[in-house]
């Protein structure tokens, strides 16, 4: 389930201009009984739910470099048959470099994720007081995403397109070595009435290498899916905006494995400034 947080970054060929910045406070939630196991078989379970409050930010360091971060300020996990537990999540920091600007900007980035979340967080059962399950807010390991992206603006039309590919180099949690992960996708966006950006993204997410030894589903080892997200950003004024996003995984390109299939919604408030 922590894999969903990777879609928070804007995978595009653009970097922020020097001293420009963008900030978003976000609330994301979902719940589901539809779990796809490591073999891709649908299993009905007790209802699992997750809620996350997060901070996302981008800042232009120079004409070529920008820095981005995604900070899960508080994440709550729980089943309908357990108590809900929560805490701080894993912080990701991305350094992004503009290889080429112009009509087809190209950017590359490196984004380490630090094990700042709680890796052992047990929720007690409401049914059997001797039973409990580990529902951590972090995956307990250091990992690094590397991304290459290209974009194109159809100016003077308020429209853009982007494509990207990413690899996540994972390490291990205790004695369990995780699979590396691969993600690639494309995004299209259009601005209506100079106020409302609407965009859609289609991407694949899958493991690399041999069959994983699954620590538990929430750490995302062996997870795969095709992701579809729809995003809207409405500008309230020069700086403020509101953001609504919808996400759903499916079997369109790669098989859904080791993950809950759910309608995931997020709502955010944004603030941006240009020098």
pLDDT of residue 139: 87
Please report the domains of the chain, with CATH numbers, ordered by start residue.
Answer: 2-273 (2.40.128.130)
Q: 225 and 207 in contact (C-beta within 8 Å)?
A: no
Q: What is the chain's Cα-based Rg? A: 19
The CA–CA distances, whole Å, from 55 to 69, 90, 119, 246, 257 equal: 8, 12, 20, 18, 28
What is the rounded distance in angstroms from the CA atom of residue 178 to the CA atom of residue 175? 10
Question: What are the average pLDDT values for consecutive 10-residue runs of the chain, which has 275 residues?
Answer: 53 94 95 92 94 96 96 95 95 96 95 93 87 90 95 96 95 83 95 95 89 68 91 94 95 92 94 90
Q: 176 and 222 in contact (C-beta within 8 Å)?
A: no
Where does 172-221 show beta strands of DSSP type E? 172-173, 176-177, 180-192, 196-208
Q: Residue 63: phi, psi to the nearest 5?
A: -70, -15
Which of 79, 71, 84, 205 has its CA nearest to residue 138?
71
pLDDT of residue 9: 60
What is the rounded distance in angstroms from the CA atom of residue 268 to the CA atom of residue 234? 11
pLDDT of residue 176: 78
Looking at residue 86, the DSSP 8-state letter turns out to be E
pLDDT of residue 228: 94
pLDDT of residue 122: 92
pLDDT of residue 179: 86
pLDDT of residue 211: 65
Which of 98, 95, 142 has its CA nearest to residue 117?
142
What is the rounded distance in angstroms from the CA atom of residue 163 to the CA atom of residue 149? 6
Q: Residue 212: phi, psi to the nearest 5?
A: -75, 160
């Amino acid at each position: 389930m922590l894999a969903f947080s990777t879609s928070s970054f804007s995978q595009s060929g653009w970097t922020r201009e020097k001293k420009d910045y963008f900030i978003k406070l976000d609330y994301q939630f979902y719940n589901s009984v539809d779990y796809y196991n490591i073999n891709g078989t649908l299993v009905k379970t007790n209802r699992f739910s997750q809620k996350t409050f997060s901070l996302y930010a981008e800042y232009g360091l120079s004409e070529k470099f920008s820095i981005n971060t995604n900070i899960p300020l508080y994440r709550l996990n729980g089943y309908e048959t357990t108590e809900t537990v929560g805490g701080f999540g894993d912080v990701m920091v991305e350094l992004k470099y503009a290889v080429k600007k112009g009509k087809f900007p190209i950017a590359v980035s490196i984004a380490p994720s630090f094990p700042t979340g709680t890796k052992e967080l047990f929720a007690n059962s409401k049914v059997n007081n001797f039973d409990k399950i580990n529902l951590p807010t972090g995956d307990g390991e250091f990992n690094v995403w590397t991304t290459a992206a290209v974009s194109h603006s159809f100016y003077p039309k308020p429209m853009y397109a982007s494509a990207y590919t990413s690899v996540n180099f994972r390490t291990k949690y205790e004695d369990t070595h995780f699979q590396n992960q691969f993600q690639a996708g494309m995004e299209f966006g259009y601005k209506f009435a100079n106020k409302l950006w609407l965009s859609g993204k289609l991407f694949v997410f899958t493991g690399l290498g041999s069959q994983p030894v699954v620590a538990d589903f929430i750490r995302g080892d062996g997870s795969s899916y095709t992701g579809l997200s729809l995003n809207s950003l409405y500008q309230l004024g020069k700086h403020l905006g509101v953001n609504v996003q919808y996400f759903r995984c499916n079997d369109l390109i790669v098989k859904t494995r080791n993950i809950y299939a759910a309608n995931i919604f997020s709502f955010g408030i944004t603030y941006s400034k240009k020098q």
